[in-house]
Amino acid sequence: MPKIKAFDKLNFLTAGMPSTTKGSYKEAFDILSDMQLDGMEFEFVHGVRISDESRQLSNKIRQERNFTLTAHCPFYINLNSQEEEKVEASVNRIIETAQAARDIGAFSITYHAAFYMGKDKETVYNQVKKTNEIIGQALKSSGIDVWVRPETTGKSTQWGDLYEVIRLSKEFDFVLPCIDFSHLHARSAGEYNTYDEFSMIFEKLGKELGDTALKSFHGHLAGIKYTDKGERNHLNLDESDMNYKDLLKAFKAFDVRGALTCESPNIEIDTKILKDYYLSL
């Protein structure tokens, strides 16, 4: 289990640099400070591309300003690909993200694990489990101490419902879920959007995975557009039916701590809305 300090609060992070940033990490962190936000999720969408200088700078600023950092693996990951070289490349991308996370001082990384590719759920689960064994061995041999989190996904064609990510987390001491509430809402075509349903998620995390799952939490939230087939695209909170107010009430009631990353298109604005509402409760 990663030797991560217990969090004393819920931190609100932007998914990537604020929209007004011109590409400078220093500028991004300055904007977050000015807005009194708590940190950032590094979005390695197209590959883990960050210089040694930027890694050092980010870690330095993180420590100086007590920011919380996380990282998102590249999107080109499918641990259930029919092509073995693509599985190997996917594993390597997760390991590379974990290495970058260690360097910047992030406590957690997340990734979209796999597509079912027409296979039954149990077969795909066992494939994801097998690749996580490889990831765990690589991180242990390199002394990398971060949480590796499969994310709940937004379409039924993708591996990663709530029960699958919890089950995998019970298998490995370095794995916990990344709960994307918007994805759960979209995947179910409208469920997971009431106080009682949010409470059920936190109750299940605590019961199945223990207090650590609630006190070192990593999750995502945004507005979302969906159909009966699941996620279409992210929206701003006020353009969607995502019941973020009741979700934040459940966060407060269960004393969940860690990181909540906002993935709305207007990134920092919705992150600020979430934090301000949460602090008002």
**Chain segment 198-232, per-residue pLDDT in tens:** 999 999 999 999 999 999 999 999 999 999 999 99
Give the helix/strand (H/E) hosting 40.
Answer: strand 39-43
Tell me, yes or no, if the pTM score tops 0.85.
yes
Tell me what the pLDDT averaged over the chain comes to: 97
**pLDDT tens for each residue of 103-140:** 999 999 999 999 999 999 999 999 999 999 999 999 99
Nearest to 18 by CA among 280, 276, 201, 272: 272
Tokens 């918007």 sit at which residue?
182
Dihedral over alpha carbons 12, 236, 29, 246 (to 10 degrees): -10
Only one residue has tokens 């973020």, namely 244
Give the C-alpha separation, 158 to 108, whole Å: 22
The DSSP bridge pattern shows strands 230-235 and 258-262 to be unpaired
Record: fold of 10-280? TIM Barrel (3.20.20)
User: How would you class 172 by CB atoms within 10 Å of its CB: exposed for 0-12, middle for 13-18, buried for 19 or more?
Assistant: middle
pLDDT one-digit tens code per residue, 43-83 = 999 999 999 999 999 999 999 999 999 999 999 999 999 99
46 within 8 A of 279, measured Cβ to Cβ: no
Backbone dihedral angles phi then psi of residue 257, each to the nearest 5 degrees = -130, 155
